[in-house]
Every structure is written in structure tokens, then in C-alpha cells.
Structure 1
Amino acid sequence: MSDSKYSVLFMRDDRDVTRYRVSPFWLKMFIFSQVFLLLCAAGGIYMGVRGLRVNSNLRDENKDLEQRLVDAEVRLERLGNMEKILQSYDPAELQSLLSAATTEVERKAEQEAIDLNRIFTRVDTQQVGVENLQAKIAGRKVSVSFELNNLQASKATVVGQADFSFVTKDGKSVKAKTNKRDLGFQIQRFKRIQTTFVLPDGLDRKDLFGLRLVIEGNDGEVIFAETYPFYHILA
């Protein structure tokens, strides 16, 4: 029925029963309003928590910016001090000092580049012997194999680690990125060693002169070292 209503009774011990008639529309509106208020409260809590997080992040960013500003001010002050020092020098004298420093750096670099003793000196303590060292280059991959012999009269076990470096045509040494497990050894008589590694970035086959093999004993001391030109070892 369109005019039906709900009856709501309120009963107290010291009073008569009070009766109210409520329309279904208003009862629904009351329930919906309570649900709406509950949703608003949940939304308010969510926005409050989110606001606290955003505020915390902003405070952290502000501290970071303040620290960066302080660092920038310190660097700026140092640069200002350097400028004052440079301004106190005579320009001709300053240019002379810079030219002398540049010449010294170039001279040291040149000396280092042509120090062939460092990459061609042979070391042989007669603990191990290297024979039949061969290399193959396919693309940027380098494969090397050699035979390692124990030369000690007592044939006591020799433990050590071998490693390779590339020697360029202009006399520089570039360490190869080798697999240490392939080149480690513990021998009483003989072991054949095989390994593969790649050419260093920036180097091509045409730039290379040879390979330098360095073998260290268990104590880290070099017991064998020799440079092998590619024209002797390439298979």
C-alpha cells in the first residue's frame, strides 16, 4: 500500500509507551545518511593518512634540498677563494706554471708508454715450464692453450695462478678479463690449460702485438712471465 508506514515504539518503565509512525522513505533516508556519513569518515581518515605521508615526503625532500644548497654554497666559496688566489698571480707567471705542469704530465705518460722492460722482461724461477702455447682469434674471442710442467726435482705439488695481458703495438699492456678457474692449477707433473676470453673494448686484432703470460705461485710471487708475439703463437 502507498500510505503504509512503520511504527516505532519507545517504552520506559516510568512512562507510557510512545509510538511514532515513520514513512518508509524517511527510514531509508536515515539508513542511507548513516552509510554516507560512515563513508565520509573513512574517506577523511584515508585522506588524512595520505596527507601525513605526503607531508613527510615533502619534509625529506626539503631537507635534501637544504643539504644540497649548503654543499653548493661550500663549493662556490671554494671556487671564489681559488679565483682570488689566481687573480693574485701574474698572468704570464701562471701561464708558465700551467705549461710546465702540462709538459711534466705528458713526459711521464710518454715514459710510461715506452717502458718496454715492464712488459717484455722474462721471469723464470725454474719451478714451472710452459710449452706449446698457441692462440686463436675468432672475431673478438681469443682462445689460448698451453702445457704447464712441474720442473722441481722433488716433484712437490706446485700451486698457483696464471693470467694474461694483451700487449699492443705501441707498447702498452692491457689486462685480459680471464676466467680465474681456467687458469688456476695444482700440479705434480703436468697439466694442459685451455681458456677463452674476449678482446678488451676499444682494441682490435690489428692493434695487438702479442700476449704476456704471468704465473704466480701460491704466495703471490711471480714464478714465470713471458711475452709471446702473435706471429709466433697464432694457430
Structure 2
Amino acid sequence: MSDSKYSVLFMRDDTDVKRYRVSPFWLRMFFLSQFFLLLCAGIGLYAGVRGYTLNVGLQDENKDLEQRLVDAEVRLERLSNMEKILKSYDPAELQSLLSAATTEPREQAPVEEVDLNKVFTRVDTREVGVENMQAKIVGRKVSVSFELNNLNAAKAMSGQGDFTFVKKDGTFVQAKTNQGDLGFQIQRFKRIRTTFLLPDGMDRKDLFGLRLDIKGKEGNVIFSETYPLYHILA
């Protein structure tokens, strides 16, 4: 019959039975609405999982691109620093170093070429900064001072510095420094001063510059740069 309805009974122990008459149309609509809500929930769950997966993939790709950008910036900065250094060098000093890299003594076995990349390689993890490097040489005594800045003021930085002599032939000779002078633990800033001697057999005229290496608390190099005497002699 067209006017037939369903009877829905609600029974509780403490109340009378309640009876509701529901049209088949509204009953169908109720079940269809439940099915529709479940379908929407399923679609929403699928979209959420897929969106999360895509987001994770994009984040990984973004991190990879950021790392590649940082590496490119570091390489560009090194090339820029090398260009600035080469442009600002004393022509006579630079010519001496380049001559050592390109010439061979007559009637002698060929000498090893100078690796200019090794001489001018710069390491900078952006944990510390070095400014106002100054040096003074009196006889065999070398006095050096510089400002060391902690670039991450949120935490104290500790480590150890060391110097290496860079000769005009491109070779390196380790300086015998006072480790107490070059050790540091700073929150923001420290002026470092130290004195050491030229190695036996080395004269000032043999010296091209000084290379400063700064190691962090765990012994890894966090800063390294070559300073030509032409720029830092007081």
C-alpha cells in the first residue's frame, strides 16, 4: 500500500514502550545518508593519507634542494673569496707563489707542483668568525692576534686554534704554538693573542703567509683560512 509505514518501537525497563511510525521514504533516506557519510569519511581518509604522503615527499625534496643550495653557496663563496684574495695580493708575492707552481729547476728532477686549491682552501661552518687578523715578525719571533666571534650566541662555543706556516713554494710547516693561548671557550667574543717562533732554517723571506685552523669541541675543523703576510703584517 502506498501509505504503508514502518513502526519503530523503543523499549526501556523503566518507561513505557514508545512507538514511532516512519515512512519508507525517510527510512531509505536515513540509510542512504549513513552510506553517504561513510563514503565521505572514506574519501576524506584517503585524501588525508595521500596528502600526508605527498607532503612528506615534498619536504624531503625541499630538504635536498636546500642542501644542494647550501653546497652551491659554499662553493660560490670559496671561489669568490679566492678571486678577492688573488686580486688583492701583492703582485710580487703572488708571482713568487705562481712561479713555484709552474717552474722546474734546471738540471734537476721535476718538483711537485704547488696545489693552489690546497693553499687557498677555506673552511667555514658558520659557527665562529675571525676578524682583524694581525701579525708582527721581529727576528724569528712571530706575534699574532685576532678577534674570535661566536656566531651562535645561544650557546657557548669551545675549541682550539692552531697555526701553520705557508711557504712561498706552497709547502706547509706546522707552527709550534702555545696551546693555552689558542684554546677558547666563549659566549660571544674573545681577543686572542699568541707568540711563536719561525722553524729552524726558515727565514721571513721564505714565508708566504699563515694558515689558521680552528677546531670545535669534538676536534672537527670549523674554520680554516690562509692569511698572506702582505695583508696581516702590522
CA positional deviation for 1:202: 1.0
TM-score w.r.t. structure 1 length? 0.52
Please tell me the root mean square deviation across aligned C-alpha atoms, in Å: 1.3
Q: Distance in 2 between matches of 1:202 and 1:168?
A: 12
Tell me, yes or no, if structure 1 residue 167 matches structure 2 residue 166. yes
Deviation of 1:194 (Å): 0.2
Q: How big is the shift at 1:141?
A: 0.1
Contact 2:153/2:187 (<8 A) preserved: no
CA distance in 2, matches of 1:157, 1:120: 29
Render the CA deviation track for 1:42-94: whole Å, top value 9, x for unaligned.
xxxxxxxxxxxxxxxxxxxxxxxxxxxxxxxxxxxxxxxxxxxxxxxxxxxxx
CA distance in 2, matches of 1:168, 1:117: 15
Alignment partners' CA distance in 1, 2:120 and 2:200: 23
1:58-137 aligned within 5 A: 110-111=112-113, 114-137=114-137
1:115 CA displacement: 1.9
Q: Secondary structure at the match of 1:203?
A: coil
Query: Cα deviation per residue 1:80-131 (whole Å; 9 max; x = unaligned)?
Result: xxxxxxxxxxxxxxxxxxxxxxxxxx67x615xx122223101111100001
Give the match for residue 223 of structure 1: 222
Query: Is 1:213–2:215 an aligned residue pair?
Result: no
Unaligned regions of 5+ residues in structure 1, if any? 1-105
Structure 2: distance between partners of 1:211 and 1:153? 28
- Aligned partner of 1:191 in structure 2 is 190
Larger radius of gyration: 1
Please give the secondary structure, in 1, of the residue aligned with 2:112. Answer: helix
> 1:198 Cα deviation (Å)?
0.2
Report if the CA contact (8 A) 2:153-2:188 is conserved: no
**Residues 149-168 of structure 1 deviation map (CA, whole Å, 9 limit, x = unaligned):** 000152x0111000000101
Question: 2:181 — aligned with what?
Answer: 182
* Identical positions, percent: 72
Provide the residue aligned with 1:145 in structure 2: 145
> How many corresponding residue pairs?
126
